Amino acid sequence: MTPCRRALLYPVFLLAAVLLAAATGSAQPSPAPKGAPAAEPERLLQALEHAFASVADRVMPSVVNVSVKPRKTASSESGEGPDVEQRFKEFFGPEFFDRFFRRRGPRDEGRAAGSGVIVDRQGYILTNNHVVEHAAEIEVRLSDDRKFKATLVGRDPKSDLAVLKIEAPPASLPVAALGDSDTLRVGQWAIAIGNPFGLDRTVTVGIISATGRTRVGVATYEAFIQTDASINPGNSGGPLLNLQGRVIGINTAIVATGQGIGFSIPVNMARDIMAQLIARGRVVRGWLGIVIQDLTDDLAAGFGLSAAHGVLVSDVMAGSPAEAGGMRPGDIIVEFAGAPIKDITDLQKRVAAVAPGYPAALAVIRDRKPARLSVKIGEQPAEETQIAALQKEESLGLTVESLTPEAAERFSLSARAGVVVTAVAPGSSGAAAGIRPGDAILEVNRQAVADLGSFRRIMASVKPGEVMPVYVQRGGGGNEYVVLKAPEKP
């Protein structure tokens, strides 16, 4: 072999030796190629080890422990958690959930803990929404053992992100640098830092296994970084880092049934959401006001399409931007703002990115023919509005669901829009009004109810003690108005 060819192949041999040693966990590196210095592979492994240690030394001071004293709620006292808790239980398993949310330390009874990372010298901290969403008090402990009461600047359940703020001299705060998650490649090293199982600032290492992961079931807007760097209860809210020590993600979850599968929110998404939460305390997203479903092969064939490409509109909410723009149930959205639409996640992400008030062009297939529409994008209802509506439903003693064709058949209803009452609490306002299980609610306060979403938007605006006409269809036939009075206190 000529010296030139030997020089070209030598780095390849060394890389193979490094990867083999890392994969096997062996302390003995593979032999160097003939003629190479024996110590060279060891030197490269030591350089990699130094890189990991340097990142930990530099970034660990900016990683904080977030200690939360949960507020008491009616749902927590009854043992029934909110929807987000149920989603976490279903996806990650009850053992993970109970260990994370219900864990109690020996010295501070009734507190839950997570992680966060300081990203600005003004005291702003990124963490997960699920770490702080039920917090009555939030305390942050730094690596030098300083403790601060933290203020919740804002949270975004739909991405599982939250921003905290502590008041401290800016010069005294260690800050982590943010990277660029759009440039990540599968196979890159990834380093996670957090406080798993109450163990202060633990470092784990792995690689980026995938990017842009959706349909994980943790948040509405998902484009997760998947990593095999160990993420455990308590790591939530901590940073995922590259070898340069820059934050590339915010750790959010693990899969309890999978080994080496963890997820982080891309830092570019976190950066944008953080800016909105700091500026206005909430995240503003675009909204069409439609109910959508994925287009399966069978549905595509039924609508006369040769391939399952696009998203099917199953309902259009009354008074929504989509209704004003002429959208109809049965439309298949194949293009939004000039970009082809693959699936629900793709459409949700693109619509959310459009500022409310701006028009967007849509291409749809309607009755097997292409059509073009222009819809003026609205503002997505806030999470707090949805919560307020749920509280109103509970206070009225009503349990409702969208009036699907299946529900209409089950309760012998001819109405095609509205909500169906599945339960009425005895002694409640709903019971006093004469509303019964099986009734379809078509109007509230002279406003048409299209589906569960529109019902909750209307209910969120109802004032305590307000008396309102409710138009119902009785199961088996017959429509009538009833008078419903909202309780004085929700």
For 272, counting Cβ atoms within 10 Å of its Cβ (0-12 exposed, 13-18 middle, 19+ buried), the class is middle
SS3 state of residue 423: strand
The catalytic residues are: 130, 160, 236
Residue 217 Rama label (left phi>0; alpha psi -120 to 50; beta): left
DSSP readout, 209-250? EEEEE---SS-SS--EEEE-S---TTTTT-EEE-TTS-EEEE
Tokens for 85, please give them. Answer: 């808790």
- One-letter amino acid of 1: M
**Whether the Cβ atoms of residue 347 and residue 312 lie closer than 8 Å to each other:** no
Q: What is the pLDDT of residue 217?
A: 62
CA dihedral of residues 86, 91, 95, 101 (deg, nearest 10):
-50
- 189-194 and 440-444: which strand pairing? unpaired
Count of other CB atoms within 10 angstroms of residue 43: 11
Q: Where are the domains of the chain?
A: 3-60, 61-283, 287-379, 383-485
Instruction: Please state, in angstroms and rounded to a whole number, the distance separating the CA atoms of residues 63 and 237.
Output: 9
Helices (H), 249-295: 267-280
What is the torsional sign of CA 238, 241, 247, 251?
negative
- The owner of tokens 């073009």 is 372
Tokens for 142, please give them. Answer: 């730094």
Instruction: Please state, in angstroms and rounded to a whole number, the distance separating the CA atoms of residues 149 and 154.
Output: 15
Hey, what long-range contacts does 168-172 have (CB within 8 A, 24 or more apart)? Answer: 168/123, 170/121, 170/122, 170/123, 171/121
pLDDT digit string (tens) for the chain, length 490 residues: 443 433 333 343 334 444 444 443 444 444 555 555 556 888 888 888 888 899 989 999 999 999 888 876 444 443 434 444 454 444 444 444 444 444 433 334 445 678 999 999 999 999 999 888 888 899 999 988 899 999 999 998 888 899 999 999 888 899 999 999 989 999 999 999 987 666 677 888 999 998 887 766 666 677 788 988 888 777 788 999 999 999 999 998 766 555 668 889 999 999 999 999 999 888 888 999 888 888 888 888 888 888 888 899 988 887 789 988 999 989 999 999 999 998 888 898 889 889 899 999 999 999 999 999 999 999 887 655 555 555 566 678 888 887 877 778 888 888 878 889 988 988 888 899 999 999 999 999 888 887 777 787 788 777 888 888 999 998 767 888 999 888 876 4
Going by the DSSP 8-state scheme, the letter that residue 415 receives in this structure is -
Count of residues making up the chain: 490
Q: What is the pLDDT of residue 300?
A: 85
**Whether the Cβ atoms of residue 228 and residue 206 lie closer than 8 Å to each other:** yes
H helix and E strand count, the chain:
14, 27
- One-letter amino acid of 231: I
Q: What is the pLDDT of residue 252?
A: 86
Instruction: Please state, in angstroms and rounded to a whole number, the distance separating the CA atoms of residues 280 and 114.
Output: 25
CATH topology of domain 287-379: Pdz3 Domain (2.30.42)
Q: What is the pLDDT of residue 274?
A: 94
| Residues ≥6 apart with Cβ < 8 Å to 375 | 288, 321, 322, 324, 325, 327, 359, 360, 362
Q: Which one is the CATH code of 383-485: 2.160.10.10, 3.40.50.300, 2.30.42.10, 3.30.300.20?
A: 2.30.42.10
Instruction: Give the CA distances from residue 56 to residues 132, 193, 197, 382, in Å, rounded to whole numbers and listed in that order.
Output: 25, 8, 19, 38
CA dihedral of residues 286, 290, 296, 299 (deg, nearest 10):
-150
Q: What is the pLDDT of residue 463?
A: 81
CATH topology of domain 61-283: Thrombin, subunit H (2.40.10)
Instruction: Please state, in angstroms and rounded to a whole number, the distance separating the CA atoms of residues 20 and 364.
Output: 52
Q: What is the CA radius of gyration of the chain?
A: 27
pTM of the model: 0.63
Fold match, 287-379 / 383-485:
yes
